[in-house]
Amino acid sequence: MIVSYSWVMALSAAIFAIGVAGVLLRRNILVMFMSIELMLNAVNLTFVTLARRMGSMDGQVIVFFVMTVAAAEAAVGLAIIISIFRNRETVNADELNLMKW
């Protein structure tokens, strides 16, 4: 019995779904943010797997870029979270409804 690609893909699917759940269910913006990172990594895993499947490096390069983007996103996102916290004294997504009608 050897590992097939579908296993890894299924794994990444699971992680992705968990990440989505985190974004939808958690209140803490920071944790939602972490869940987003989870999703990103699930996708990365898919990329790497399929790259291996096709024997091409492109997937890995994409992963590389995803990491870069994630880094940038983390920097900006966390900065935003900090300023939000400064102004609203909370990181609870339910309380942050400035955009409410």
Scanning residues 20 to 49, which ones bind another protein (CB under 8 A)? 20-28, 30-35, 37-38, 41, 44-46, 48-49
Distance CA 83, CA 46 (A): 34
Q: How far apart are CA 23 and CA 36, in angstroms?
A: 7
Give the interface size with another protein as a residue count (CB under 8 A): 82
Which is nearest to 14 in space by CA: 36, 39, 34? 39
Q: Judged by CB under 8 A, does residue 88 bind another protein?
A: no
For residue 70, state whether it binds another protein (rule: CB under 8 A): yes
Residue 41: φ, ψ to 5°: -70, -35
Report the nearest approach of another protein to the CB of residue 19 (Å).
7
| 85 lines the binding site for another protein (CB under 8 A) | yes
Q: Is 55 left (phi over 0), alpha (psi -120 to 50) or beta?
A: left
Residue 6 within binding range of another protein, rule CB under 8 A? yes
Q: What is the nearest approach in angstroms of another protein to the Cβ of residue 73?
A: 8
